[in-house]
Amino acid sequence: MKKFLVQTLSTALVGVLFLSLASCNRQSTTPPAAASPSTGSQVSGPKLELPLANGDVTFSLLLAGIGNLVSSFDYADNAFTKRIVDETGIKLDIIGVSDTDYKARLNVLLGSGDYPDLIISRYSDVTLNDLIYFGNEGIFISMDQFNPLAYPNIKAAFEEYPAAYDRVRGADGKLYSLPTVNDCLHCRFRGGRAVYYMPWIRDNGRTPPQTTDDLLEYLRWVKANDVNKNGNRNDEIPVAFCRDDIKTAISYIAKAYMPFVNTDQYFGLGLVDGKVTEQYKADEFREALKYLANLYKEGLILPDSFTMARQQLRALGGADPAPVLAYAFTNSQGDASSTGTQRWIETFIAPVLKGPAGQQNGPNKDPWSIINPGLIITDKCKNPELAVAWYNYLLNFDVSMDGYIGPKGQCWDEPDAGTTSLMGGAPKYKLLIGYGTQPVNAGWNQYNPMIRNNDFRLGEQAKGADAARQWLSTGDPSLLSQLVDNASYNEEQNYFNTVDQFPYEMPAGYFIPPIAMDETDTARLADINANLETFKEQACVEFIAGSRDINNDAVWNTYLSELDRMGSGEMASLIQKYLK
């Protein structure tokens, strides 16, 4: 098993293993009294009344989220941790990690055998094949024996999202996880977006680039002019991205040349007429890389883009006193500027780009991307049935809201009488502060498991929606003061921006559905993909930066041969075998 685990670590992660061991922190989240070890007592039947335990049970768990909004999950520091420990009577021993370190830390824990009772999955970092493999190994236990559908919140989740079964059920029909759902439009439309600094467009009588030719001309104009009007013609950066958005940057351009697939599981591997297709081998993909290589050669891409962290990108986008970044290949305004600031409000999502042959493909990911494994129970857990009850508790609406943004009455509250939601009906809540501006350690920064359906996401009390829509259409500076103080603007711009991209949505038929493979094929696929994903990204970087000549046929053919040697074709065939 350990040999397999080592093979599944991508080359990109190997370098951060020791960093993740040092930077993640195991935080005791117990009340001041000393924690007691987990007991072996079982809960009989669905346990719904609080407290769920009497302080005599401790769950250890792995949880991402350490960052600018969460510095600690400790009981003494984190308001949400304190709430759920106090209400449930279950103590928590949390291994807290950052987004970047999560996958590496998970692999280290599983490989060493020192894994916790519970794993809270971060988005798609735990795949269906992972669930199957570790389920077969007996490390992840089946939930079926604890009758999870007897719990109302869990039952409602599966009823509303029956596709969740495809994401958490193995080939043996067993549930190896309970789902978490984030049914948000802007999350699904994050497979290759860009953002731009709107005042430089508006104040110079320009329009946002609509085509690849428009974008090239605009970036050249930025480089050649003192657009920020500070007397320095050399401090404007036409375009940048961060190391975590390399695939996003490539996808944004590639989608102007072909219906390019970029999902949480696959980059450039999609279905064309039902056939698994290696799109990163296509001539159209090569043309997209040529375009990016030309941008880099002309000095229009910041060279640091391949190595800098997201926080550095945000700093470029919010430079004081004069902003310097014109365009960013990234998925949201908050990736290129600090959420809640005026600069963030003045950063707009770029239109879906049209390529030279008329291709114009939206950044939507696969329809299953909104559903992921949420709670995984390992064989270390002595109270698995109680863990299911605890998970059901976490899905309560008010508990979810506290974990999402912070305590009720401080960060959110009941809606006002006579108001409407973002979707037009009766609202479920109102925000008192904008998401991203909550106090540090007020919650778990939405890494707590939730079933965020449309009622959750669009059930927010609308405030200033008309002004938000007008602002996104016109950039009228007279509206700016209304938006700075509008706690609803974050969700409004997420919704309105995504709706504008609906006409270019890629059909579901291009995407590979969740597949439950047998153990042998699961291991082989993971073995291939661990190295292949890293190679694809690195090769693309080398083509863009010029160390591989994208215009040289012999160099391109060498790249194709390398893909074959690494098992790219075999991977496509393995997947094809399981498609009906």
Domain boundaries, the chain: 11-184+369-402, 195-366, 405-440+461-504, 515-578
DSSP string covering 289-352: HHHHHHHHHTT-B-GGGGT--HHHHHHHHT-SSS--EEEE-SS-HHHHS-TTSHHHHTEEEPPP
Q: How far is CA 255 from the centre of its chain?
A: 19
Are 46 and 147 in contact by the 8 Å Cβ rule? The answer is: yes
Q: Quick one: pLDDT at residue 6?
A: 29
**DSSP structural state of residue 389:** H
pTM of the model: 0.76
Report the alpha-carbon distance of residue 271 to residue 263 in Å, rounded: 12
Q: Please give the CATH number for the structural domain made up of 11-184+369-402.
A: 3.40.190.10
State which amino acid sits at residue 2. K
- 135 Cβ contact partners less than 8 Å away, ≥ 6 residues apart: 141, 142, 170, 172, 174, 176
Q: Quick one: pLDDT at residue 542?
A: 98
Smallest Cα–Cα separation from 68: which of 571, 518, 467, 441? 441
- Which ranges of 431-552 does DSSP label H, i.e. alpha helix? 454-458, 465-474, 480-484, 489-499, 519-545
113 φψ region: left (φ > 0), alpha (ψ -120 to 50), beta (else): left
Q: Quick one: pLDDT at residue 316?
A: 87
Smallest Cα–Cα separation from 80: which of 394, 387, 377, 453? 394
- Which ranges of 161-242 does DSSP label H, i.e. alpha helix? 164-168, 185-188, 198-202, 212-224
Report the alpha-carbon distance of residue 13 to residue 9 in Å, rounded: 6
SS3 408: strand
Do 195-366 and 11-184+369-402 fall under one CATH topology? Answer: yes
Report the alpha-carbon distance of residue 518 to residue 135 in Å, rounded: 12
Measured from the Cβ of residue 296, the count of other Cβ atoms closer than 10 Å reads 19
| CATH C-level class of 195-366 | alpha beta
Q: Quick one: pLDDT at residue 321?
A: 67
Environment class of 113 (CB within 10 Å of its CB; exposed 0-12, middle 13-18, buried 19+): exposed
Q: What string of pLDDT tens digits covers the 580 residues of the chain?
A: 333 332 333 333 333 332 233 334 444 444 434 333 333 334 456 889 999 999 999 999 999 999 989 999 999 999 999 999 999 999 999 999 998 899 899 999 999 999 999 999 987 788 888 898 899 899 999 999 999 999 999 999 999 999 899 889 887 889 999 999 988 888 889 899 999 999 999 999 999 999 999 999 999 999 999 998 888 888 899 999 999 999 999 999 999 999 999 998 889 999 999 999 999 999 999 999 999 999 999 999 999 999 999 989 998 888 776 778 999 999 988 888 888 888 999 999 999 999 999 999 999 999 888 899 999 999 999 999 999 999 999 999 999 999 999 999 999 999 999 998 887 889 999 999 988 889 999 999 999 999 998 788 888 998 888 899 999 999 999 999 899 888 888 888 988 899 899 999 999 999 998 888 887 888 898 889 889 999 999 999 999 999 999 999 999 999 999 999 999 999 999 999 999 7
Measured from the Cβ of residue 18, the count of other Cβ atoms closer than 10 Å reads 11
